[in-house]
């Protein structure tokens, strides 16, 4: 069994995250994460929780079989920190670690390359009780966790992703309080942001020092933004949006600093920056992962406090999340960040759409998703043809799962999951993706 060669060929995969699919929330020594606590408090739209979710923890072999049937080159998944370090730090939980080893072994047997995300939002509750991301000690906690996971998976994994979408877990979890841990306010937001950047770079440096052949990346959520009208006011609004949603967690890492010029409110972060931190948050990643779903049209609006822009709704088709469908965004983001000289390689680490899917006679005819994927993959390949070094696309998601504060209603999967029976049904989009991938393989 060997790790598939990370050569320059374009890879197609799919992505998931631990809390959204694993279930087994308290099995085999796992402790509670902030999402267990948050959902158990009834904070989710449909009052659900992911105690069972897709029960992937107990059904991972079946799921890897499905991935093989879909012809996937790669699978991106995340580690549940409280499953492997129930106290957040200290003694590792061998049973939890063993689960990820077995998952990787199954993937490698099928020649599916594992891309491991270290943090996709399920912080151990015990660390949140000490302040979570607002406590600067998280740099040490996260570093320790990184070493434990590297030691556990070093023979099985070459591709590491440090964080998933800092914007989302920090803005929604620490500024607006609509995601776990449900905290609010600028103070929490800026502290958590800066500490996440420091912890991210520290973790990446540890991986690099432990394994010079590891490929180390991180992911960001991005939304291409366009001015509503062709005037300076709206262009400025678009720059502000871009600074906040897209560049806030990229620019400081590549040495450009927090984009305070474009969005003055970001200056508040200075209070939490200690001497030498500007170097401490930098890391020369091997690759950046872009997660993107939609685009925005914005207009200057002084009434909206501190942001100074307003989003405009368009008459575009929408997904079940209400997100407008506009495939030019994925192309334009790749062009924008692919032109950063500091960025070596890009992947689309998430892209996909939720629709109200139904199983009919054992099939799910999700033409709308096929159309969405087709358009978006096309736009990615166009950016590649335009000279951008983008080398992979991961569909979100392998299977329907727990969509955070929205609960189980939105279905993003290539595979339908019946949450009562846990039966998996490959959707038409899954078959389409399989055929699309094999078509490309036969051509190359
Ligand atoms: O389900 C999420 C995922 O966890 C992070 N990126 C966006 C997806 C869809 O909302």
Check which CATH number belongs to the domain holding 274 and give it: 3.20.20.80
Ligand 1 in contact with 403 (CB < 6 A)?
Answer: yes
Q: Which of 128, 311, 350, 403 is catalytic?
A: 350
Establish how many alpha carbons lie within 13 A of residue 327's alpha carbon, considering only the half-sphere containing its beta carbon: 16
Rounded to whole angstroms, how far apart are CA atoms 56 and 64? 10
With the C-alpha atoms ordered 179, 183, 187, 192, is the resulting torsion angle positive or negative? negative
Q: Which of 165, 311, 345, 403 is catalytic?
A: 165
Q: From the alpha carbon of 120, which atom of ligand 1 is closest?
A: 4
Ligand 1 in contact with 165 (CB < 6 A)?
Answer: yes
Rounded to whole angstroms, how far apart are CA atoms 307 and 431? 43
Q: How many helices (H) and strands (E) would you count in the chain?
A: 14, 13
In a domain, 202, yes or no: yes
Strand order in the sheet with 295-300: 224-227, 295-300, 309-312
Rounded to whole angstroms, how far apart are CA atoms 366 and 140? 45
Ligand 1 in contact with 291 (CB < 6 A)?
Answer: yes
Q: pTM score, two decimals?
A: 0.97
In a domain, 33, yes or no: yes
Tens-binned pLDDT, residue by residue, of the chain (444 aa)? 666 665 558 999 999 999 999 999 999 999 999 999 999 999 999 999 999 999 999 999 999 999 999 999 999 999 999 999 999 999 999 999 999 999 999 999 999 999 999 999 999 999 999 999 999 999 999 999 999 999 999 999 999 999 999 999 999 999 999 999 999 999 999 999 999 999 999 999 999 999 999 999 999 999 999 999 999 999 999 999 999 999 999 999 999 999 999 999 999 999 999 999 999 999 999 999 999 999 999 999 988 788 899 999 999 999 999 999 999 999 999 999 999 999 999 999 999 999 999 999 999 999 999 999 999 999 999 999 999 999 999 999 999 999 999 999 999 999 999 999 999 999 999 999 999 999 887 766
Q: Which secondary structure element, helix H or strand E, spans residue 118, and what is its range? A: strand 113-119
**Does 109 qualify as catalytic in the annotation?**
no
In a domain, 217, yes or no: yes
Token pair of 59, please?
Answer: 């059904």
Please tell me the total count of domains within the chain. Answer: 1
For residue 334, give its domain range: 11-443
Rounded to whole angstroms, how far apart are CA atoms 376 and 330? 7
Residue 206 to residues 27, 127, 329, Cα–Cα distance (Å): 30, 21, 34
Rounded to whole angstroms, how far apart are CA atoms 242 and 263? 9
In a domain, 4, yes or no: no
**Does 94 qualify as catalytic in the annotation?**
no
Strand partners, 417: 424
In a domain, 2, yes or no: no
Rounded to whole angstroms, how far apart are CA atoms 181 and 142? 17
In a domain, 203, yes or no: yes
């Amino acid at each position: 069994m060997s790790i598939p060669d990370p050569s320059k060929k374009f890879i197609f995969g799919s992505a998931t995250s631990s809390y959204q699919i694993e279930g087994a929330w308290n099995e085999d020594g796992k402790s509670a994460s902030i999402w267990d606590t948050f959902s158990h408090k009834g904070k989710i739209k449909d009052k659900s929780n992911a105690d069972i979710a897709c029960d992937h923890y107990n059904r991972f072999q079946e799921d890897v079989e499905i991935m093989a049937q879909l012809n996937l080159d790669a699978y991106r998944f995340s580690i549940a920190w409280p499953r492997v370090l129930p106290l957040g730090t200290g003694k590792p939980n061998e049973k939890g670690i063993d689960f990820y080893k077995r998952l990787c072994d199954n993937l490698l047997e099928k020649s599916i390359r594992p891309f491991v995300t270290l943090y996709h939002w399920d912080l151990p509750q015990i660390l949140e009780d000490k302040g979570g991301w607002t406590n600067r000690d998280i740099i040490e906690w996260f570093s320790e966790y990184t070493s434990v996971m590297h030691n556990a998976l070093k023979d099985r994994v070459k591709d590491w992703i440090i964080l998933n979408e800092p914007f989302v877990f920090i803005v929604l979890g620490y500024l607006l309080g609509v995601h776990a841990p449900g905290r609010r306010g600028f103070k929490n937001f800026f502290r958590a942001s800066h500490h996440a950047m420091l912890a991210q770079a520290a973790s990446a440096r540890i991986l690099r020092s432990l394994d010079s052949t590891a490929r180390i990346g991180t992911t960001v959520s991005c939304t291409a933004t366009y001015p509503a009208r062709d005037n300076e006011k709206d262009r400025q609004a678009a720059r502000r949006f871009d600074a906040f949603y897209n560049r806030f967690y990229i620019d400081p890492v590549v040495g450009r600093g927090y984009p305070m010029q474009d969005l003055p409110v970001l200056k508040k972060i200075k209070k939490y920056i200690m001497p030498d931190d500007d170097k401490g948050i930098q890391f020369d990643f091997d690759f950046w992962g872009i997660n993107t779903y939609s685009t925005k049209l914005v207009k200057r609006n002084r009434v909206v406090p501190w942001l100074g822009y307003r989003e405009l709704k368009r008459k575009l088709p929408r997904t079940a999340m209400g997100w407008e469908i506009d495939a030019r965004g994925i192309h334009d983001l790749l062009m924008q960040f692919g032109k950063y000289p500091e960025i070596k390689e890009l992947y689309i680490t998430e892209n996909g759409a939720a629709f109200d899917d139904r199983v009919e006679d054992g099939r799910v005819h999700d033409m709308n998703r096929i159309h969405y994927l087709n358009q978006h993959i096309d736009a990615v390949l166009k950016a590649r043809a335009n000279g951008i070094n983008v080398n992979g696309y991961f569909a979100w998601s392998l299977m329907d799962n727990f969509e955070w504060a929205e609960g189980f209603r939105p279905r993003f999967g290539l595979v339908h999951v019946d949450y009562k029976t846990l039966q998996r049904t490959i959707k038409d989009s899954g078959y389409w993706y399989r055929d699309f991938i094999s078509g490309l393989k036969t051509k190359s």
